[in-house]
């Protein structure tokens, strides 16, 4: 996963809905017995192209959930949508989790499960075909989905960018 310079999105300006995906109880064996702690996976989104995923860890469940929500709001991204679906197919691998997302025709609905479904609903996508391959680790699948959505581009803008680069290269070859 490569980091690009992404401008921060101010979460206070958006009306975000939070959805808890997963809570995990972790125990550590110490001298006096077992010490329990919790991790929570949460997705936040405004339903119109903004989404973020966060994992929070704490000794109590409510604290882990609030941490996850705060982290998710810090990791918001803007997703380019094309008529309630995505503009093009994308396949992403993060760790051992692979996520395939394909645009779907209107009326298809959300064909997604688990973490992918929660993230896609938070973004506001209505029609999409997805498949989760490889690992079923909920955290990695959710992060892979967000990473895949961040790779979506506007087809017209991308075509214009590529044409501009091709013309610039021809000038270098001729000169």
CATH of residue 113's domain is 3.30.230.10
Q: Do 20 and 65 meet the contact criterion of CB atoms below 8 Å apart?
A: yes
Q: Is residue 1 part of a domain?
A: no
Number of domains the chain is built from: 1
Q: Is residue 31 part of a domain?
A: yes
Q: What is the pLDDT of residue 31?
A: 92
Q: Is residue 25 part of a domain?
A: yes
Q: Is residue 115 part of a domain?
A: yes
Q: What is the pLDDT of residue 173?
A: 47
Q: What is the pLDDT of residue 63?
A: 96
The segments of the chain whose pLDDT lies below 70 read: 1-8, 165-175
The length of the chain, given as a count of residues: 175
Q: Which helix (H) or strand (E) holds 158?
A: helix 155-174
Nearest CA among 157, 108, 153, 160 for reference residue 129:
108
The model carries a pTM of: 0.83
Q: Is residue 170 part of a domain?
A: no
Q: Is residue 165 part of a domain?
A: no
Q: What is the pLDDT of residue 154?
A: 81
Q: What is the pLDDT of residue 166?
A: 56
Q: What is the pLDDT of residue 6?
A: 52
Q: Is residue 171 part of a domain?
A: no
Q: Is residue 2 part of a domain?
A: no
- By residue range, what is the domain housing residue 33? 11-158
């Amino acid at each position: 996963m490569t980091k690009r310079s992404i401008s921060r999105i101010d979460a206070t300006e958006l009306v975000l809905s939070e959805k808890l995906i997963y809570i995990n109880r972790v125990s550590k064996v110490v001298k006096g017995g077992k010490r329990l702690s919790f991790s929570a996976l949460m997705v936040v989104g405004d339903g119109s192209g903004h989404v973020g995923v966060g994992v929070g860890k704490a000794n109590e469940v409510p604290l882990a959930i609030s941490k996850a929500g705060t982290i998710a709001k810090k990791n918001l991204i803007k997703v380019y949508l094309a008529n309630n679906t995505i503009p093009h197919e994308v396949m992403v691998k993060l760790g051992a989790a692979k996520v395939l997302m394909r645009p779907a025709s209107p009326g298809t609905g959300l064909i997604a499960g688990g973490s992918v479904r929660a993230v896609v609903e938070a973004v506001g996508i209505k029609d999409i075909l997805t498949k989760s391959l490889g690992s079923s680790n909920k955290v990695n699948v959710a992060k892979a989905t967000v990473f895949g959505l961040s790779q979506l581009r506007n087809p017209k803008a991308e075509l214009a960018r590529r044409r501009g680069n091709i013309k610039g290269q021809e000038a270098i070859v001729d000169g």
